[in-house]
Chains A and B, each alone.
Chain A
Amino acid sequence: MDEIQSLLHGFAIALSFKNLALMFVGIILGVIIGVLPGLGGANGVAILLPLTFSMAQSPGGTTSAIILLSCIYWGALFGGAITSILFNIPGEPWSVATTFDGYPLAQQGRAGAALTAAFTSSFVGALVAVIVITFLSPIVANFALEFGAPEFFAVYLLTFCAFVGMSKEPPFKTIASMMLGFSLAAVGTDPVTGALRLTFGSTALLTGFDFLVAVIGLFGIGEILLTLEEGLAFKGASAKINLRVVLDTWKELPRYWLTSIRSSAVGCFMGIVPGGATPASFMSYGVARRFSPDGDKFGTGKVEGVVAPETAAHAAGTSALLPMLTLGVPGSPTAAVLLGGLLIWGLQPGPLLFVEQKDFVWGLIASMYLGNIAGLIVVLTCVPLFAAILRVPFSVIAPIIIVICAIGSYTVHNSMFDVWMMLVFGVAGYAFKKLAYPLAPLVLAIVLGDRAEASFRQAMLVSQGEMSVFFSNKLVGGMTGLALVLLAWPLLAWLISKVRRASA
């Protein structure tokens, strides 16, 4: 099989000393980022991205750079569970569902078991997703090689309509937030005609808004402001993991194999269609509660209630890279930032990547296997150290995080304007989050805005302005049709519930 061959080649690349070292550095940084309030996968990667600019110049450097950044992402996925279980504070949105049973377990003195279960099932979820990526992505990429501009625009349309149809937030707020992202992406020079758009004579706006600055502000500063509201003290259970607890928990885990399979499936699905890790974790928790024999005891401290959301969150977070690599459409905000990194390093994400950059793609996929093994080892052995970070008082950690965010925003373009924009995005992020305007579609729209517009224009040029080009063959018509169904989904769901209530 070709995939196995390519994967072995990828392992040869990923197993170099430098790349292994970067893997561990990335995982450790990622866990710290995941534990700290205000820093998470998306903005952690965004802050560190400028540091990879010079790294990516050397031969093979892009592979090292993506290994470092993707390992930060895996680390952040692991780290979120630590704060949820020990402190009842979800370090990441996708670990909210982990608090439901994780924190009660910690209160009963079974923190070690909860953490082991969380880490192990995270690992299982990620592993399933990586296997899916290994075997599915070459097929998807091969298929997508035939895509023209209308097909690509249909994929973008499908991505964004899926947000409207599947997110928990009110649909009109999702649309408003998404369109704000597209508008921000349009600021600056029009790539086709060279006309200046929305700059209003300002030179600072000539280059447009950088999505990295938006991510750092929205997720970083906004998150810190939100955390502050909840007060400054963190009180948590102590973290003790020893080998016996780990082995005892591992003995218990195979009992939940069905939950694991279901959660992995939910996670992979939600990651590939851009539902994301957060809804995946909630959905999987809900499904597990419904089907588990002691589902009514969920919420009181069941290990199974930790297994379900963690497996799904990791499966979703990992499989979000599949559409990013094969189609150039990221499935999560962090995947969007990684995609931005690829563009900055001069790589074109999309099906051609699998043809032209084999070393890069397979090195990355191999590093996902290794990175998650490294991650499991690191978190199981170092939990008390990471938990100690949260005991550092907020009055010390908060200003340092803001300093890191400021440095991160500055290094994107060496511009003070970006640092001011970071504050503006921070306040916006705080308000949007409190009013249930979703941030993920906003970020995705900023990253994909130019590409979506380019494919739309090309499609329109081909068809001379006829919208019917988006229904011109089975494939593009199917995708456009599905997109429209998803777009109308909130309305359909509302109508169905109305009809049901009327008949009842």
Chain B
Amino acid sequence: MTEGGEGRPAFGQKSAEIVVSAFFLALGALVMWDSVRLGARWGSDGPQAGYFPFYIALLMSIASAVNLALALVRKGGFRAFVEVEQLKLVLSVLLPSIVYVGLIALLGIYVASAIFVAAFMRWLGKYPWWKVAAVSIGNSVVFFLIFEMWFKVPLPKGVVERLLGLD
């Protein structure tokens, strides 16, 4: 992926292929099981509720079984699915995003977004605090104006909005 030098691989293409196709296979089995529970056959008044999903899941399972088999027998040299450095970058966005979604439920979307943008700019961008504050708070204010005032679409709010009397 990156140019200039091979990074240390976090895990290989082959294991990623195996994990994803196994995931598909498990999902297919789950859907088939639930469809059979509902009835996947021909009822007195036509196809039962599980009829269509059952065959969908059957096709998914067959296809992913082939994918799994292809992944297992694949030869050729080791290829990295993702390198350690890349994975670090990806996680540096993914983990804060998970925390952010958790914060939305607690603090409302505007405060959580301000904290999220600020954290990003401070730690990854190393911006001075005044810039961090201006962009993060400004961003939330703009979204507040667009959604609550202009389009009248209510978004989740928390303590701060209630204190400011905006809720």
Contact = CB atoms under 8 A, between A and B. Distances in A.
Contact of B105 (A402, A416, A457): A416
Q: Which of A179, A229, A456 has the most chain B CB atoms closer than 10 A to its own CB?
A: A179
Interface stretch (A67-75, A139-147, A186-194): A186-194
A84 B157 CA distance: 39
A229 B86 contact: yes
Interface string B144-159: 0001000111111000
B120 A435 contact: no
Interface string A429-443: 011101101000000
Contacts of A115: none
Given A51-B151, A183-B31, A229-B89, A176 B24 contact: yes
B167 to A, nearest CB: 15
A426 B90 CA distance: 12
A416 B70 CA distance: 38
Nearest to A454: B52
A465 B56 contact: no
B116 A402 contact: yes
A193 B48 contact: yes
Nearest to A460: B47
A398 B70 contact: no
Contacts, number: 173
Contacts of B60: 175-176, 179-180, 183
Contacts of A396: 117, 120-121, 125, 135
A432 B20 contact: yes
B124 interface: yes
B16 interface: yes
Given A173-B67, A427-B94, A400 B53 contact: no
A148 interface: no
A230 B82 CA distance: 11
B161 interface: no
B59 interface: yes
Contacts of B34: 197-198, 200
A50 B146 CA distance: 13
A221 interface: yes
A135 interface: no
Contacts of A398: 93, 120
Contacts of B30: 198
A419 B101 contact: yes
Interface in B58-79: 59-60, 63-64, 66-67, 70
User: Interface residue tally of chain B, by bracket?
Assistant: 35 or more
A229 B57 contact: no
Nearest to B152: A54
Contacts of B16: 431, 434-435
Contacts of A402: 93, 97, 100, 116
Given A195-B49, A197-B38, A395 B63 contact: no
B46 A231 contact: no
A75 to B, nearest CB: 18
Contact of B52 (A50, A399, A457): A457
Interface stretch (A277-285, A295-303, A307-315, A403-411): A403-411
Contacts of B56: 179, 182-183, 186
A443 to B, nearest CB: 16
Contacts of B125: 393, 395-396
A472 to B, nearest CB: 18
A423 interface: yes
Contact of A406 (B109, B120, B152): B109
Given A420-B101, A435-B17, A395 B81 contact: no
B124 A395 contact: yes
A423 B53 contact: no
A195 B50 CA distance: 9
Interface in B96-148: 96-98, 100-101, 104-105, 109, 113, 116-117, 119-121, 124-125, 127, 135, 139, 143, 147
Contacts of B38: 190, 195, 197
A406 B156 CA distance: 11
A419 to B, nearest CB: 5
Contact of B155 (A186, A399, A407, A432): A407
Given A176-B60, A419-B101, A225 B93 contact: yes
Given A198-B31, A402-B116, A230 B100 contact: no
A423 B98 contact: yes
A430 B90 contact: yes
Q: Which of B13, B24, B105 has the most chain A CB atoms closer than 10 A to its own CB?
A: B24
5 contacts: A54-B151, A172-B67, A395-B125, A396-B135, A419-B101
Interface of B: 1-2, 13, 16-17, 20-21, 24, 27-28, 30-31, 34-35, 38, 42, 46-53, 56-57, 59-60, 63-64, 66-67, 70, 81-82, 86, 89-90, 92-94, 96-98, 100-101, 104-105, 109, 113, 116-117, 119-121, 124-125, 127, 135, 139, 143, 147, 151-156
A-B interface, 6 closest residue pairs, ranked by CB to CB distance from nearest: A395-B125, A179-B60, A195-B49, A175-B63, A399-B120, A395-B124
